[in-house]
């Protein structure tokens, strides 16, 4: 009984997986030999099994070979395909950015469940192993690049969808950081209009107080920021308008939720000027009447 596995010579050589393939075959059929050869533009591995195997053993052999080929696809070929997809996406990315996007795609692939013919698989590796093993039970010759192109079309489409999603997420993240940097430069270019403000974060509401405890009102803002504050219904945007207009030297944020995105954003924009407080009297319910009176 023989198995013949062939690869496009342009693919990364399979040699790094040969030892694993030998051990997998030996676990099912100790008597075998394996030969590597070149046939035109193909790299070929010929496996000869020297003992008879029943159907159960043949199934195990198909699973062993399928497992190694899946590992080769996921660990060696997949990163190259993803890299190529990113570069052909009509967006310019540096080598470092491509690496970051590629890593995000790979992490998403490793943590996602996959479906094939109404069966849910824990991972793409499990799904690919099942498909390759199923093919090898009926066929003893597999051209890996052809198998991927014609038998794994859904897998390739899913790869492309993951790449597009990762690119979109990366672009949004990059735009966010560029926006933060722009606001930071704006803050640095302006002289402070007030020494200290307190930001009271209370159940998705924000109150901005001066050092003496009196509230900062819209009329205290510059006209352009007053207009921005009047036109927004968002508490977060209103807070940002106040702080950008006042450009305080120091900001103390009183919150019990320091990990909220809006708090993190303020920490980035007003870097070096912000501290959080999560335990003083103004953070506690007893301080709420004071805020209302103010």
pLDDT of residue 104 exceeding 90: yes
pLDDT of residue 281 exceeding 80: no
Distance between first and last Cα of the chain: 88
- What is the per-residue pLDDT for 174? 92
- What is the per-residue pLDDT for 284? 54
Q: Write out pLDDT tens, residues 77-101.
A: 999 999 999 999 877 899 999 999 9
Confidence of residue 123 (pLDDT cuts 50, 70, 90): confident
- What is the per-residue pLDDT for 240? 86
Q: Tokens for 100, please give them.
A: 């970051």
Give the span between the Cα atoms of 118 and 39, in whole angstroms.
39
**56-88 b/e with 16+ CB inside 10 Å = b?**
eebbbbbbbbbbbbbbbbbeebbbebbbebbee
**Per-residue pLDDT averaged across 135-145, rounded?**
94
Query: Is 132 in contact with 64 (CB distance < 8 Å)?
Result: no
Give the span between the Cα atoms of 10 and 17, in whole angstroms.
16
pLDDT of residue 258 exceeding 70: yes
**Per-residue pLDDT averaged across 2-13, rounded?**
83
pLDDT of residue 61 exceeding 90: yes
- What is the per-residue pLDDT for 14? 82
Q: Which has the higher per-residue pLDDT, 139 or 245?
A: 139
Q: Write out pLDDT tens, residues 154-205.
A: 899 989 999 999 999 999 999 999 999 999 999 999 999 999 999 998 877 8
**Per-residue pLDDT averaged across 114-121, rounded?**
60
Confidence of residue 66 (pLDDT cuts 50, 70, 90): very high
Q: Tokens for 16, please give them.
A: 């790094």
CB contact set of 248 (below 8 Å; sequence gap of 6+) = 192, 193, 194, 195, 196, 197, 270, 273
Give the span between the Cα atoms of 102 and 88, in whole angstroms.
13
- Indicate the pTM of the whole model: 0.75
Give the span between the Cα atoms of 260 and 57, in whole angstroms.
56
Confidence of residue 291 (pLDDT cuts 50, 70, 90): very low
Q: Write out pLDDT tens, residues 11-47.
A: 767 888 888 999 999 999 998 999 998 888 889 999 9
Give the span between the Cα atoms of 79 and 230, in whole angstroms.
50
Q: Tokens for 57, please give them.
A: 């053993």
CB contact set of 94 (below 8 Å; sequence gap of 6+) = none
Q: Which has the higher per-residue pLDDT, 150 or 257?
A: 150
Q: Which has the higher per-residue pLDDT, 255 or 135?
A: 135
pLDDT of residue 117 exceeding 80: no
């Amino acid at each position: 009984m023989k198995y013949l596995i062939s690869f496009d010579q342009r693919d990364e050589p399979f040699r790094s997986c040969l030892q694993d393939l030998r051990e997998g075959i030996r676990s099912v059929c100790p008597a075998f030999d394996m030969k590597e050869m070149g046939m035109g533009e193909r790299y070929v591995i010929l496996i000869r099994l020297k003992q008879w195997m029943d159907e159960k053993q043949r199934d195990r052999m198909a699973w062993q070979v399928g497992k190694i080929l899946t590992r080769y696809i996921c660990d060696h070929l997949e990163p190259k395909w993803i890299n190529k997809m990113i570069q052909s996406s009509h967006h310019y990315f540096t080598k470092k950015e491509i690496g970051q996007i590629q890593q995000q795609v790979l992490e998403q692939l490793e943590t996602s469940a996959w479906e094939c013919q109404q069966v849910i698989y824990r991972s793409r590796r499990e799904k690919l192993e099942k498909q390759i093993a199923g093919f090898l039970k009926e066929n003893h010759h597999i051209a890996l690049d052809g198998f991927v192109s014609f038998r794994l079309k859904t897998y390739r489409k899913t790869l492309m969808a993951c790449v597009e999603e990762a690119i979109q997420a990366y672009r949004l993240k990059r735009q966010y950081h560029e926006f933060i940097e722009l606001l930071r430069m704006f803050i640095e270019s302006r002289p402070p209009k007030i020494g200290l403000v307190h930001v009271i974060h209370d159940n998705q509401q924000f109150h901005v107080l001066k050092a003496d405890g009196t509230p900062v009102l819209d009329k205290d803002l510059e006209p352009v920021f007053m207009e921005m504050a009047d036109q927004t219904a968002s508490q977060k945007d209103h807070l940002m308008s106040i702080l950008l207009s006042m450009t305080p030297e120091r900001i103390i944020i009183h919150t019990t939720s320091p990990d909220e995105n809006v708090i993190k954003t303020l920490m980035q924009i007003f870097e070096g000027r912000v501290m959080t407080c999560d335990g003083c009297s103004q953070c506690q319910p007893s301080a709420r009447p004071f805020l209302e009176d103010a």
